[in-house]
């Protein structure tokens, strides 16, 4: 199985990646420092961190959010993502 798939589904069809709540974020960059997958990016001239590479995020990993003191990172609903993966697999199997 390719690194660009998860459970047989193309990774770019799985919307699993963090969302940053900038009202809570204190720009400590702990999540960026922690994440080895380069999901986040610091843009030059901007204090804000962005989710620049969402497909690099490991599906169902939430480890970066545990480093976030102000709880500014959130992830999609896991049961909904599981259902989506099953739906995509079923659709592909029916082709």
| Number of domains forming the structure of the chain | 1
pLDDT value, residue 1: 38
Domain span at 80: 5-94
Cβ atoms of 40 and 31 closer than 8 Å: yes
pLDDT value, residue 46: 82
Residue 34 sits in a domain whose CATH number is: 3.30.70.20
10-19 b/e (C-beta count within 10 Å ≥ 16 → b): ebeebebbbe
CA distances from residue 47 to 57, 59, 90 in whole angstroms, order as listed: 22, 27, 43
Q: Is the pTM of this model over 0.95?
A: no
Block means of pLDDT (10 residues each) for the chain, length 95 residues? 79 97 94 96 87 97 96 98 96 88
Lookup result for tokens 């998860």: 6
pLDDT value, residue 44: 83
């Amino acid at each position: 199985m390719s690194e660009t798939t998860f459970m047989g589904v193309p990774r770019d069809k799985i919307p699993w990646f963090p969302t940053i709540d900038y009202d809570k974020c204190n720009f400590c960059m702990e999540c960026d420092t922690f994440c080895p997958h380069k999901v986040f990016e610091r843009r030059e001239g901007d204090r804000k961190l962005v989710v620049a590479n969402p497909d690099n995020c490991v599906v169902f990993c939430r480890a970066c959010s545990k480093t976030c003191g102000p709880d500014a990172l959130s992830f999609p609903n896991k049961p909904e993502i599981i259902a989506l993966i099953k739906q995509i697999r079923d659709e592909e199997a029916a082709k």
